[in-house]
Every structure is written in C-alpha cells, then in structure tokens.
Chain A
C-alpha cells in the first residue's frame, strides 16, 4: 500500500498519468463506459430467476427461504447486516445496551414512510413486536423473541426500548432477520389474514402483485427514505424451479440474474463471456442427513455413528459439487467467528462403520425408508449415498416427497430419515438454539441433551463474543458426536448474472440483496 502511495509523488507517475489521459481521449467511448459503471444507473427492470416455494410475503409468518428474497425489498429490518455479518443501522439509527444487559434502546430514523403513506414511529415498532409476541398471532418467529423479550416500550416517538427478561446477546441479529421486519400496522388491519398477499412495508420497492408459483412484481417506491435509492423502476421475480433452467435463462437473456445455480453448470456458465458467475466464499450452507433420535430405530447411537462413518464426504463433494465447497464437520461454516478450527467431525471409516453396525444390533445389515425430495439434484445425492452406504450393508428405500412439502413433513415429524440443508444466521444462537436446544422451534430430530441446553442458555446471555465462543465450541462437539444430524458438505453457492448487473455482494445468510443492485445501460 505504502509503495503505491509514493509512486504518485514521483515525476514518472505524473508522466504515466498524462499518458493515460491521452489514451483516454483515443479510447473515449470505452473509458467513458467504464466511468459510468462507477456510479449507479437509475432505471430499468431487474428480472430475477427465482427459486420456488414462496407462500406468504408477511415476514412474521414466513418460513420459506424463497420468501426472504422478496422481503428485503418490500420491507426494512430494524437493524441490518453487512457482508461480514456485522449488525449495522437500518430503521434504527443507533442503539445502546444497558449495563445489566436487560434493556436495549433504539433511536429510530425520522421521516420514514410506509408505502401506504403512514408514518414509521416507535409505536409501530412496539406494535410489530407485540404482534409477533402475541400467542394468538401464531407467528413462527415468536420463539426467537419470546424467551428473552418481556415487553417493548415507547420512550418517545422516535425512541423505543426492549425490556428483557434476561440479557440476550442474539437479540440484534434476530432483529436483522425475520423477527425484525417492520410491517405497516394500518395495512395489516386492512388486509387481515391476506396481508401476506398484499404486503406493505417501508422498503425501497412497493408491492404490485404476487401470483403464487409464478411471479412477484415490485416497483420503485418514490418516497423511500434512503436518498437516491433504489435504482430500478421495477423488479420482477419469475419462479423457475429447475436450477439448470434458471441458469440457462440468464444465458439466453430471459432473466438478468439467478441464484441457487448448480455446481455442475458452473464451468459452462463461466465460459460465457456475457455472464458473471459469483461464488460465495467461504461456503455458508450445509447439507445434512437427519433422523428422529428419540425413537427407534435411530435412538440407537451406534447405528447413527455407523452411518455417519460410512459416508465418504470427499467423494460427495467431488461428484455432486464437482469439487466446489468443503467437506462438512459441524454446525458452523468456515469464516464465522464461532467456528471451531479444531473440530474434527466424522471421517470416512467403513471398517469401523461395520463394527458399529454390528454393535448396534444389525450384524446382517440395516434397511430403512429414506425420504428424498423429488428433484434430480437430491435424487442424485441420495443415489450416491445409497451406493456408499451399501458398502457397509445399509440399504436406503427411497420415498419421494414433493420439495414444497419436504420441510413441513420434517417439522410435523412425518419423515424420520431424510436430508436437509440450512443457511447461516448472523448469531451462533440462531441455528444452535433452533435446531439443537430441546426447546428450539426447528428441533425436528427430538434431540435433547441437558448439557447442550445448558451451554446454549449460558452462551445466549453473554454479550462478549470471545466469552461465548468456547461455550459454542463445546456444544458443537457434543452435537456432532451425538449425531442428531450427519453433516455432509458445506456447499458452494453460485449466482449467475448478466455482466450488466452491478454491485452484487454475498451476505453469509445467502439471501440475495437485490435491492442494492443496478443495471448498466
């Protein structure tokens, strides 16, 4: 850095600069084009190849991943996240945590309006949090706040305070996600249960229409509070369930950008001069196998260990991900502050796996139903797992389930053994608590380890990351060993876009922030 700085003071630097200026005259059109690329261009329509399964656009009822792609454009969260998962101001300009950790005060942005013309105030924040906390609302987001938030009080029209039952470090991260989206109280009163089909927020884009399983259309909200934003006139999400079709549509110019592109198609897309392929590094999503550990046959730990040891993760990575991504070891993906660099995870050891299988009481092999999402991608993974596990005498009988129903079946505990995948939350409490605490709302495995519960409860009330870290490391080690989940891969994620699309940034939660993009003319 220092060397570069001094170059500019040397006379030769000036000569070079003059030469570049002269060249700029000759190559005016090209250079000018590039100069324009520095400042965002307003206007145009962004067409998105969108993943399927969105059912509601009411953030307080959202459970599907696809829904979050839209929520960040229609709504604002109380606080935001940057690309390193740091909590940054959004609707709240600033905040303070009381010394005892039991009161968090937020100062709000002024002059923020909802798309329906109503004002955003402290009352609105209180109304939103009360809506989530009210058991009658039945918000799936309730369990993320309810254990810690006692009440929200209005200090003045632009100051709001969260009164806590106990210190709760994950609060801010949660308010950057689904529980933190602020909806228009007036619109909720107007639309009632249909608010999810007529969302009204303070976000940069206003909702136009939502045709289930087909498309969502948004248009620029001229009264948006962040000056100069957004850039597009219109944003259209086209539901394209097949990942290959999705990426092909970017190639043919039918859409401008697509996410959740399959690794297998990446080399082909990279070879296309008109496209840009962006890989999320380090990988931030994991794939796992899961089962119900509180009832037979998987309440048998030796059986779980046998299967975990019988999977060759390196081979999965090479064949399914074409070498992209990493072999998974535990709950935390690489690059997060709470990841344990010394965690080993289950390796591939077919001999030990066979021994464990015999120890589990299945010396002649084990055979069980395995629910697979009915898409080529997941059938391919299941077939490879089937082939690997066959070698230790474990047989999978496939039961095909609709992708849209797969997660609901898991939550209702109607599938016992299946595969799934999760993206990261901005706070370790996020995934650890919801999946592995016996009270976690997404704990679908029946996993309950008092030691893990205790560690997670203890870590949540500490605000300093350095003191929380060892607690999560210990919990993670116990979880990996108990194997309610068998970690497979940290999968590489890809977005493919036309070269005209500018300002693409990955956030480790893998939700595309389309609202910051703009299109080069």
Chain B
C-alpha cells in the first residue's frame, strides 16, 4: 500500500493510467447500464421525501422533488460519457482528416485550411460551444455537435504538425517514389504513426468535454430534462446550496472525479507512449 502511494505520488505513469482507467471503467459501466444500477428510479418523485438529508434510505439525500440524488448521479453518468466520448470522436475524425490533408498537400489550399483552424482555436471552447447551442437550441445532438466543433482545430493542428515532420522521412519518400497513392500513404503510413498522439489527446479531450458539457448544463444550455445531467443537477443544487448542499456536492464531486480520471489517464498515457525513449528519437 505504502509503495503504491509512493508511486502514485511520484506520478509513475503506470499507476496514473491504471487509477484513471479504473475510475473511467466504473463510469463506463454506469453509463452502459445507467439508472438500472441505482437503488431507485432517478425520475421517481416523492412529495413526502422532499429535500431529505443523506441517510441509509437515500445515500446522497433527495432533491426538491423528492428524487433520490444517488440514483440521479448514477443515471447522469450516461450523458456525461456519451457527450464526452461521441463529441471527441467526432472532433477527432474531422480534425484528423483535415490535419492529414493539410499536412500532405502543399500550397495555398492547406494554408487556408489551417488558418481556418486557427480562427476556430482562438475562440475559447466554452464560448464557442455556448454560441453554437444558443443559436441551434438545446438538444443532446446540438451539445455533442457544438463540442465536436471545438475539438476539430486541436486535432487538425496536432495531426498536421506530426505529418509535416513525418512526410520528410525516408519511408514516406520511399512510398511516394514507389508510386503509392496519396490516400494510401495517409491511411497506411501516416495515420498509424500519429495514433499514439491522438489517443493521448483524445483521452484528455473526453475529460474536457465532460467539463464543458457540465458548464453548458449549468448555464441552462446543456442536454434538456428529463435526461439526467450532472451539470444540471449542479445548477439545481446551486439554488439550494444553503438548504440542501448535498445536491451540488454530489454532482460536483462526480464531475470532478471523472474529469480528473481522464486527465490522469491521458497524462500517464502520454508518458508511457509518447515520451518513451524510442519515441523521443523519432
């Protein structure tokens, strides 16, 4: 145990990865099975149990409509994970494609593409997501779409940077000389070489996405009810902060834990994959 804490404290990558992965694993299980794992139906209200303190019957107390906060936290994992993962996948897909194209092509087209990415990047992601959801209206897909858009430039710039250094390497020049087509070079030779960096960035991105989704929900622009969302619980709890602090504390802690887990996972992963001695010399 002591060894473990020492290693954890020293930030050993393997430990970070495994702790992060464990928490993420739990969150994924909750997201997959959702509310069925909780002690109550998270939407079942009970006028006789309004704002009760945490107890054996209600581990994290109840909310203003008498709904079980613990069950809502469990049920809320799904939105957080779905929004986090799907939006990152969307941003990753589009961003990688743009990055590969912009890195492989030379000339004005690539420049225009990258300036567009820079323009997107200068917007703080929360502001951009706010603007998009405020404009399109609130729904699950709009939130996912808005977040995905904010991820596109990060991935595009990352991939292009990698590609720019890779494309001068012998194996790419060789492939080109052998008459391999551009698309095939991108797919078979470039993509596998950027996958490590992408994985690190993606896992980091999921954490960010979960935080941004929570912020959007807190501001009333997240996934609309009755879908359960930690951010919205936090907002609801906020007006009850003095009467029923458990609502905000529980939802805030859930957001914090999952976002931290993704952060640790990606940090550790970066140390393991990207900063390994071989990789440095690449």
A residues adjacent to B (C-beta < 8 A): 242-244, 248, 262, 264-265, 268, 315, 318-319, 374-377, 379-380, 382-384, 386-387, 398-400
Residue B121 lies at the interface, judged by CB distance under 8 Å to chain A? no
Known: A374-B220, A380-B65, A383-B65. Contact between A319 and B50, CB under 8 A? yes
Residue B138 lies at the interface, judged by CB distance under 8 Å to chain A? yes
Q: Contact check, A400 vs B224: say whether CB atoms are below 8 A apart.
A: yes
Q: Contact check, B243 vs A268: say whether CB atoms are below 8 A apart.
A: yes
Report the Cα distance A243→B64, complex, angstroms.
Answer: 16
Closest B residue by C-beta to A267: B243
Task: Collect the chain A residues with CB atoms within 8 Å of residue B240's CB.
Answer: 244, 264
Q: Contact check, B239 vs A398: say whether CB atoms are below 8 A apart.
A: no
Report the Cα distance A145→B236, complex, angstroms.
Answer: 44
* Residue in B65, B220, B242 whose beta carbon sits within 8 Å of that of A268 in the complex: B242
Known: A319-B47, A319-B50, A384-B45. Contact between A376 and B239, CB under 8 A? yes
Q: Contact check, B242 vs A319: say whether CB atoms are below 8 A apart.
A: no
Task: Collect the chain A residues with CB atoms within 8 Å of residue B86's CB.
Answer: none
Report the Cα distance A175→B102, complex, angstroms.
Answer: 70
**Known contacts A262-B239, A380-B65, A398-B226; 16 further A-B pairs (Cβ under 8 A):** A243-B239, A244-B239, A264-B64, A319-B47, A319-B65, A374-B138, A374-B220, A376-B236, A379-B236, A382-B225, A383-B226, A384-B45, A387-B45, A398-B224, A398-B225, A400-B224
Q: Contact check, A387 vs B65: say whether CB atoms are below 8 A apart.
A: yes
Task: Collect the chain B residues with CB atoms within 8 Å of residue A242's CB.
Answer: 239
Report the Cα distance A458→B65, complex, angstroms.
Answer: 45
Task: Collect the chain B residues with CB atoms within 8 Å of residue A382's CB.
Answer: 225
Residue B66 lies at the interface, judged by CB distance under 8 Å to chain A? yes
Closest A residue by C-beta to B51: A264
Q: Contact check, A383 vs B45: say whether CB atoms are below 8 A apart.
A: yes
Task: Collect the chain B residues with CB atoms within 8 Å of residue A248's CB.
Answer: 242
Report the minimal beta-carbon distance from B219 to chain A, rounded to whole angstroms.
10
Q: Contact check, A387 vs B236: say whether CB atoms are below 8 A apart.
A: no
Task: Collect the chain B residues with CB atoms within 8 Å of residue A265's CB.
Answer: 243
Q: Contact check, B43 vs A387: say whether CB atoms are below 8 A apart.
A: yes
Q: Contact check, A386 vs B226: say whether CB atoms are below 8 A apart.
A: yes
Task: Collect the chain B residues with CB atoms within 8 Å of residue A243's CB.
Answer: 239
Task: Collect the chain A residues with CB atoms within 8 Å of residue B236's CB.
Answer: 376, 379-380
Task: Collect the chain B residues with CB atoms within 8 Å of residue A244's CB.
Answer: 238-240
Task: Collect the chain B residues with CB atoms within 8 Å of residue A387's CB.
Answer: 43-45, 65
Task: Collect the chain B residues with CB atoms within 8 Å of residue A399's CB.
Answer: 224
- Can you report 13 residue pairs joining A to B where beta carbons are below 8 Å apart? A244-B238, A248-B242, A315-B47, A319-B47, A376-B239, A380-B65, A380-B236, A382-B225, A383-B45, A383-B65, A386-B226, A387-B43, A398-B225
Task: Collect the chain B residues with CB atoms within 8 Å of residue A374's CB.
Answer: 138, 220
What is the predominant secondary structure among interface residues of chain A facing chain B?
A: helix
Report the Cα distance A315→B47, complex, angstroms.
Answer: 7
Report the Cα distance A262→B64, complex, angstroms.
Answer: 13
Task: Collect the chain A residues with CB atoms within 8 Å of residue B43's CB.
Answer: 387
Report the minimal beta-carbon distance from A35 to chain B, rounded to whole angstroms.
37
Q: Which residues from 232 to 262 on chain B have a C-beta closer than 8 Å to any C-beta of chain A?
A: 235-236, 238-240, 242-243
Instruction: Digitize B52-78: 1 where CB-to-A-CB distance is under 8 Å, 0 elsewhere.
Output: 000000000000111000000000000
Q: Which residues from 145 to 171 on chain B have a C-beta closer than 8 Å to any C-beta of chain A?
A: none
Report the Cα distance A375→B219, complex, angstroms.
Answer: 10
Report the minimal beta-carbon distance from A382 to chain B, rounded to whole angstroms.
8
Report the Cα distance A387→B64, complex, angstroms.
Answer: 13
Task: Collect the chain B residues with CB atoms within 8 Å of residue A264's CB.
Answer: 64, 240, 243
Query: How many B residues face the partner with a CB closer than 8 A?
Result: 20
Report the Cα distance A387→B65, complex, angstroms.
Answer: 10
Q: Contact check, B64 vs A319: say whether CB atoms are below 8 A apart.
A: yes
Report the Cα distance A375→B236, complex, angstroms.
Answer: 9
Closest B residue by C-beta to A379: B225
Task: Collect the chain A residues with CB atoms within 8 Å of residue B65's CB.
Answer: 319, 380, 383-384, 387
Report the Cα distance A398→B225, complex, angstroms.
Answer: 7
Report the minimal beta-carbon distance from B139 to chain A, rounded to whole angstroms.
9
Report the Cα distance A389→B235, complex, angstroms.
Answer: 25
* Residue in B225, B235, B242, B243 whose beta carbon sits within 8 Å of that of A383 in the complex: B225
Closest A residue by C-beta to B244: A264
Closest A residue by C-beta to B134: A402
Closest B residue by C-beta to A265: B243
Task: Collect the chain A residues with CB atoms within 8 Å of residue B66's CB.
Answer: 319
Q: Contact check, A380 vs B224: say whether CB atoms are below 8 A apart.
A: no
Task: Collect the chain A residues with CB atoms within 8 Å of residue B226's CB.
Answer: 383, 386, 398
Closest B residue by C-beta to A377: B239
Task: Collect the chain A residues with CB atoms within 8 Å of residue B47's CB.
Answer: 315, 318-319
Q: Which residues from 8 to 28 on chain B have a C-beta closer than 8 Å to any C-beta of chain A?
A: none
Report the Cα distance A375→B224, complex, angstroms.
Answer: 12
Report the minimal beta-carbon distance from B142 to chain A, rounded to whole angstroms.
12
Report the minimal beta-carbon distance from A462 to chain B, rounded to whole angstroms.
44
Report the Cα distance A170→B226, complex, angstroms.
Answer: 45
Closest A residue by C-beta to B222: A400
- Nearest first, the 4 A-B pairs at minimum CB distance are A244-B239, A374-B220, A387-B45, A319-B47
Report the Cα distance A386→B227, complex, angstroms.
Answer: 13
Report the Cα distance A377→B65, complex, angstroms.
Answer: 11
Instruction: Digitize B63-100: 1 where CB-to-A-CB distance is under 8 Å, 0 elsewhere.
Output: 01110000000000000000000000000000000000
Task: Collect the chain B residues with CB atoms within 8 Å of residue A318's CB.
Answer: 47
Closest A residue by C-beta to B242: A268
Report the Cα distance A268→B242, complex, angstroms.
Answer: 9
Closest A residue by C-beta to B64: A380
Task: Collect the chain A residues with CB atoms within 8 Å of residue B45's CB.
Answer: 319, 383-384, 387
Closest B residue by C-beta to A373: B220
Closest B residue by C-beta to A314: B47
Report the minimal beta-carbon distance from A415 to chain B, rounded to whole angstroms.
13
Closest B residue by C-beta to A322: B50
Report the Cα distance A299→B236, complex, angstroms.
Answer: 35
Task: Collect the chain A residues with CB atoms within 8 Å of residue B242's CB.
Answer: 248, 268
Report the minimal beta-carbon distance from B45 to chain A, rounded to whole angstroms.
5
Report the Cα distance A400→B138, complex, angstroms.
Answer: 7
Report the Cα distance A391→B66, complex, angstroms.
Answer: 17
Report the Cα distance A38→B66, complex, angstroms.
Answer: 46
Report the minimal beta-carbon distance from B230 to chain A, rounded to whole angstroms.
15
Task: Collect the chain B residues with CB atoms within 8 Å of residue A376's CB.
Answer: 235-236, 239
Report the Cα distance A383→B42, complex, angstroms.
Answer: 12
Closest A residue by C-beta to B235: A376
Report the Cα distance A315→B48, complex, angstroms.
Answer: 10
Report the minimal beta-carbon distance from A194 to chain B, rounded to whole angstroms.
28
Q: Which residues from 210 to 233 on chain B have a C-beta closer than 8 Å to any C-beta of chain A?
A: 220, 224-226
Closest B residue by C-beta to A395: B226
Closest A residue by C-beta to B237: A376
Report the minimal beta-carbon distance from A327 to chain B, rounded to whole angstroms.
14
Report the minimal beta-carbon distance from A53 to chain B, rounded to whole angstroms.
16
Report the Cα distance A319→B50, complex, angstroms.
Answer: 7
Closest A residue by C-beta to B241: A244
Closest A residue by C-beta to B43: A387
Report the Cα distance A397→B238, complex, angstroms.
Answer: 25
Of residues B43, B64, B240, B243, which shows the largest number of chain A Cβ atoms within 10 Å of its Cβ? B64
Report the Cα distance A304→B203, complex, angstroms.
Answer: 50
Report the Cα distance A315→B66, complex, angstroms.
Answer: 12
Closest B residue by C-beta to A242: B239
Task: Collect the chain A residues with CB atoms within 8 Å of residue B50's CB.
Answer: 319
Report the Cα distance A384→B187, complex, angstroms.
Answer: 53
